[in-house]
Amino acid sequence: MHTLFVFSIGIQNDSRLNQKSVKCCAVHVSKTYVSSRRCISNVSMNAQQESGSVLEQTLIHKFGQHNISRVLDSYNRIQRGDIYINTPDNNNDHRQEAHSFIESLTALPFHDISNESIPGYNWTRQLESHWTTIRDELQRAYSTSGRISKTGNNVWVPAVRDEALDYGPNWRTLVLQDREWDPVNAKLFPKTVKILKHTVQCPSVEVFFAKQAPNTGIKSHSDGCNFILTAHLALDVPENECWIEVGGIRKHWKNGKMLVFDTSFMHSTMNESMSEDRYVLLIRFWHPELKKVEIDALQFIFNVLDNPELLDQHVETMKREKESKQAMQSLDNETPNRSARRAAKRSKGTTRSNPMGFGAK
């Protein structure tokens, strides 16, 4: 689950390479590309570079090199194993650390959604006005947790694999969207899904309810991606007893209020209540300063990672277009030669009958 954050340099089960390559998400990338979620090891760097080059050329063909230069730069940094590190207050514990990094995006631990002059956050203010509807639907769900556990998908599951070391066993989620909307869980929360998709038109890529047990927290870590921001809508929290700290700035959740923050900064949480769970609606969404074509390119990368056949289809399309272009060029080159031959025949007295047309007798 939660597989958005990093696109790797390889394509899983790449039919052209006859090898399995890496798909990694939210990890500390090095030149060995160790993945925390889905990784098939023992991949040759040559195979990775070849599949990465094919994808890069496909991106250029599909979206235009100039239009997605920032995405291509980000992609190439991943291939090199670069990690962006920014310590704005010279405190390494508060650093921004990203291996999936798009340049020139506003980087703040917390984003001010109350400032209406800043574009891209109007939906967050609208969502706050619907918080009781979402809270009530959630409360009905966990009051009948036995039934929802039987009918829903992955209800209140912990973080998986290596990232569980940071999140711990007491951080649980109920996923509504992981790029695609979960058809089963979405039906269990119809009001919430309608509000998000239609009423406020939330630009989400991930949506899930997150539960933090009493007297537990999440260790300080970075999610490693700066072009996805995170929003929390507090639904049922023990106020003044639970907090989140991002880039050295600590804020407490308030029921019905949104917090928007950048998880490429080091961040941690704590529920200091000894008896109450903390429930928030967690939404991950594209950074508002991304251009639409950049979002489309990033989404294409993720789609290819999920379905490598998409890349094969686009490569085949590129091949056909190239062959068609070459055929047209060949025809253009041949046309002057044909005209010359016809002129030579006419000069030798060869005649052609005029075609029948308007005014012909």
Other C-beta atoms closer than 10 Å to the C-beta of 29 total: 24
Per-residue pLDDT at 36: 33
Burial of 197 (C-beta count, 10 Å sphere; 0-12/13-18/19+): middle
Separation between Cα atoms, residue 223 and residue 245, nearest integer Å? 14
Separation between Cα atoms, residue 305 and residue 35, nearest integer Å? 14
Other C-beta atoms closer than 10 Å to the C-beta of 155 total: 20
Closest CA to 270 of 247, 237, 229: 237
How does strand 216-221 pair with strand 242-246?
A: unpaired
Per-residue pLDDT at 161: 54
Which residue has tokens 């969404």? Answer: 285
Which residue has tokens 């260790």? Answer: 219
Question: Can you state the angle between helices 45-63 and 309-347, rounded to 10 degrees?
Answer: 60
Closest CA to 267 of 330, 194, 218: 218
One-letter amino acid identity for 150?
K
Q: Is the Cα torsion angle 347, 351, 354, 360 positive or negative in sign?
A: positive
Per-residue tens of pLDDT for the chain, all 361 residues: 444 444 433 333 333 333 333 333 333 332 222 233 333 233 344 445 555 688 999 999 999 999 999 999 999 998 889 999 999 899 999 999 999 999 999 999 999 999 999 999 999 999 999 999 999 999 998 887 667 878 888 888 887 655 556 787 888 999 999 999 999 999 999 999 999 999 999 999 999 999 999 999 999 999 999 999 999 999 999 999 999 999 999 999 999 999 999 999 999 999 999 999 999 999 999 999 999 999 999 999 989 988 888 888 888 877 777 767 766 777 666 666 656 666 666 665 544 444 333 333 3
For residues 217 and 268, the answer to whether their CB atoms sit within 8 Å is yes
Separation between Cα atoms, residue 193 and residue 176, nearest integer Å? 8
Per-residue pLDDT at 41: 32
Largest CA distance in the chain: 107
The backbone torsions φ and ψ at residue 173, rounded to the nearest 5 degrees and listed phi first, read -135, 155
The backbone torsions φ and ψ at residue 224, rounded to the nearest 5 degrees and listed phi first, read 75, 20
Closest CA to 156 of 108, 78, 210: 210
For residues 185 and 206, the answer to whether their CB atoms sit within 8 Å is no
Q: Any idea what the Cα angle at residue 265 is, between residues 259 and 271, rounded to 5°? A: 55
Which residue has tokens 């007798």? Answer: 361
Other C-beta atoms closer than 10 Å to the C-beta of 3 total: 17
| CA dihedral angle for residue 277, residue 281, residue 283, residue 289, rounded to 10 degrees | -100
User: Bridge partners of 62?
Assistant: none
Separation between Cα atoms, residue 302 and residue 312, nearest integer Å? 15
Question: Residues near 334 by Cβ (< 8 Å), separated by ≥ 6?
Answer: none
Give the tokens for residue 183: 């058809």
Burial of 335 (C-beta count, 10 Å sphere; 0-12/13-18/19+): exposed
